[in-house]
């Protein structure tokens, strides 16, 4: 089956504009994560969705960042009033929590965001 | 709060050398541990994982890792590296369903 997909693959935006990044997880995966990957910073946890539970937003760096997951499937990460330090690759991962694949994350290709 | 430390940021080895990449985590409860690899231009992919049982875990491509609970460590090893192992390696911990990654280690293998 299809893996995790993300769109757009690349996004260049001007400072101060809002952007929306989309993640389509693997069908049936109940958990979804967003990470930010910057050079030298590794993968920075942003937010985690699990089923119908309230999301864990503890990694969001500021109130300019928000995310939602509609219908337990597709997720959108929104960055308002983008700043140059928001430039990074934004990665989405989904997880199967059943069976031997328990908690193995499947990553999407990422969205490379450049704020000019 | 849980955290993951990878001690080596950049490692350069010659082919056939032995590899050990350090990973320590901070969390007092039960953890699941992972190593992921990102080859140049590719997605992150799972190398190996530990959930329970034998603390020595075998993964793909000849990699293995040992979970030492008393040291809060999960070091990655490979007895003889190849040029194709050039990549970035990430240690990750699942604690309370939140998966946290280390900052990664860039491994460069000289042919």
- pLDDT-derived band of residue A42, with 50, 70 and 90 as boundaries? confident
Given the structure tokens 């490979």, which residue do they identify? B78
The per-residue pLDDT for range A63-79, each reduced to its tens digit, is: 999 999 988 789 999 99
Distances (CA, A) of B69 to B4, B84, B102: 14, 31, 18
Q: Which DSSP category does A45 fall into?
A: E
Chain A / chain B CB contacts < 8 angstroms: 55
Which of A42, A102, A104 is the closest to B102 by Cβ? A42
Look at residue A103 in the predicted model and tell me its pLDDT: 67
Q: What does the alpha-carbon distance between residue B31 and residue B95 come to, in Å, rounded to a whole number?
A: 5
Q: Flag if A45 and B46 touch (Cβ within 8 Å).
A: no
Q: Which parts of chain B register pLDDT below 70?
A: none
Look at residue A101 in the predicted model and tell me its pLDDT: 56
Q: Specify the 3-state DSSP secondary structure of A55.
A: coil
Torsion angle in degrees (nearest 10) through CA of B29, B47, A8, A1? -100
Q: Flag if A33 and B99 touch (Cβ within 8 Å).
A: yes
- pLDDT-derived band of residue A39, with 50, 70 and 90 as boundaries? confident
Q: Which long-range contacts (CB under 8 A, 24 or more apart) does B42-50 make?
A: B43/A107, B43/A108, B43/A109, B43/A110, B44/A43, B44/A91, B44/A93, B44/A105, B44/A107, B44/B90, B45/A107, B46/A104, B46/A105, B47/B76, B47/B89, B48/B76, B49/A103, B49/A104, B50/B74
Look at residue A1 in the predicted model and tell me its pLDDT: 53
**Is B2 touching A (CB cutoff 8 A)?**
no
Give mean pLDDT, residues A36-49. Answer: 88
Q: With contact defined as beta carbons under 8 Å apart, do A114 and A38 qualify?
A: no
Work out the burial of residue B37: count CB atoms within 10 Å of its CB; fewer than 13 is exposed, 13-18 middle, 19 or more buried.
buried
Contacts of A41 (CB under 8 A, 6+ apart): B103
Chain centre to alpha carbon of residue B42: 17
Look at residue B67 in the predicted model and tell me its pLDDT: 95
Does residue A60 register a pLDDT over 90?
yes
Q: With contact defined as beta carbons under 8 Å apart, do B40 and B74 qualify?
A: no
Look at residue A25 in the predicted model and tell me its pLDDT: 93
The per-residue pLDDT for range A81-112, each reduced to its tens digit, is: 999 999 999 999 998 766 555 667 889 999 99
Contacts of B100 in chain A (CB under 8 A): 45
């Amino acid at each position: 089956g299809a893996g995790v997909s993300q769109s757009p693959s690349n996004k260049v935006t001007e400072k101060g504009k809002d952007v929306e990044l989309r993640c389509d997880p693997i069908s049936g995966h109940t958990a979804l994560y967003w990470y930010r990957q910057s050079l030298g910073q590794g993968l920075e946890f942003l937010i985690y969705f699990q089923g119908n539970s309230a999301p864990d937003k503890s990694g969001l760096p500021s109130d300019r960042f928000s995310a939602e997951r509609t219908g337990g499937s597709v997720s959108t990460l929104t960055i308002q009033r983008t700043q140059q330090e928001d430039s990074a690759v934004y990665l989405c991962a989904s997880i199967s929590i059943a069976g031997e694949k328990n908690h193995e994350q499947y990553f999407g290709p990422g969205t490379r965001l450049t704020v000019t | 709060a849980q955290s993951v430390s990878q001690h080596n940021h950049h490692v350069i080895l010659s082919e056939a050398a032995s590899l050990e990449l350090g990973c320590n985590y901070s969390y007092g409860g039960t953890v699941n541990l992972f190593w992921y690899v990102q080859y140049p231009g590719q997605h992150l992919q799972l190398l190996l994982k530990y959930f329970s049982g034998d603390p020595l875990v075998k993964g793909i491509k000849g990699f293995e890792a040992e979970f030492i609970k008393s040291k809060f460590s999960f070091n990655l090893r490979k007895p003889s590296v190849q040029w194709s192992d050039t990549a970035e390696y990430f240690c990750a911990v699942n604690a309370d369903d939140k998966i946290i990654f280390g900052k990664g280690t860039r491994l460069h293998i000289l042919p």
